[in-house]
Amino acid sequence: MLDSASVPTYLSELPEVMARLAETAERYKVEWLAPISEPDKYFGPDAANQIMQDVLPRFDEFDGKLVWQVFDSVQRLDLRGYDVAGLAVLGCDWDGVGEMFDTTISRVVDWAAADGVTEIAHVEFGCVNNANTPSAAIANFDRWLGATSGLSSGLIILDSPRSAPNGQSVVGTWLEDWVVGYGRDLGFSPG
């Protein structure tokens, strides 16, 4: 994690990289782009708000959708200028009803509405670690997705790297069954 003392330096050098990233993303017709994912985690909410607004002009030539992927900030985040408010709901089987992610979803949905961001999406969803109780995870999934039903325009499932101990993979696990079933409910057929 970036040392807080290093954040200003990093942010001062970031715009140049952002411009190059925008060029590459446009060249290859990327659909969705988060300039920095979860900047509230890396920089804190104030600096995140600042840099996410500062870099916007660098993406003027990018014709895809810009995503503001939120970590878990309680402090108000400024989502103006972005196309998609991204949720990172990784509560797996350990977060409960009315707890962290229920409130995070509600907060981000409210911010998006207030800032004129018309799309909500689950851009990082599922489990970091292997679920101890898949049925509890599935119940959570249903509740979180239900909370954005009719609002969400995307669902990206996390596939934890295998080098990470106890990471939750998708293929070959209970999560694969859930993913395929959920996709079928939405009309997606395995290819």
Partner 1 sequence: MRRGGLLCVVVLAAACGGDSESAEPVQTSTVAPTTSAAPTTTAAPTAAPTPTSTATHSTTTTTQAPDTAPSVPGCTDIKRRAPAFEEGIAEHELWIGRLVGDQVTDQQMLGSGWSVGDGFIIDGVAHIWAMNALDHVLHHATFADGKFTDLGPISVDGHVFQGFIDPDVFRLPDGGIGLAAVNGMRTEGTPRQPGPICLMRSDNGQDFETVHVLIDESGVQDPAVLVGDEWVVAVKVFGEETVRVMVGTPETGFEVTVTGSGGDPDLVVESDGTIRLTVCGEGMLDTYRSPDGRSWEASDPIRSQTCGPASITGSDWMLHLPKPGQGGALPVESEPEEIAATTTSTSPPSIPTQGSNPFSSGNIALRDCLISSIGEEAFNGLAAGRMPVGAEMMAVGICMAQAGAGGSGGMPTAPSGSSCTPETPGGYSRHDRPFMFGIKAFHMYPPGEQSVADESDIKALGMNTVGLVFQIPYDDGGHINYPFSTFGSNFSDLDASLCHIGNLINRVKSAGLSVYLSGEPLYYRMGPGV
Q: Under rule CB under 8 A, which residues in 139-158 are in contact with partner 1?
A: 152-158
* Of 172, 105, 118, 178, residue with least CA distance to 145: 105
Q: Under rule CB under 8 A, which residues in 108-127 are in contact with partner 1?
A: 121, 123-124
Between strands 84-89 and 65-69, the pairing is parallel
Q: Which of 139, 145, 147, 180 binds partner 1 (CB under 8 A)?
A: 180
Contact window for partner 1 (CB under 8 A) among 98-106, 110-118, 137-145: 98-106
Residue 149, token pair as written in the block: 């039903």
Q: Does 106 bind partner 1 (CB under 8 A)?
A: no
What is the residue-wise DSSP string for 76-111?
A: ----TT-SEEEEEE--TTT--TTSHHHHHHHHHHHH
Smallest gap from Cβ 110 to partner 1, in A, equals 19
Dist. CA 86–CA 152, nearest whole Å: 9
Contact window for partner 1 (CB under 8 A) among 95-103, 105-113, 138-146: 95-103
Q: Does 60 bind partner 1 (CB under 8 A)?
A: no
Smallest gap from Cβ 135 to partner 1, in A, equals 15
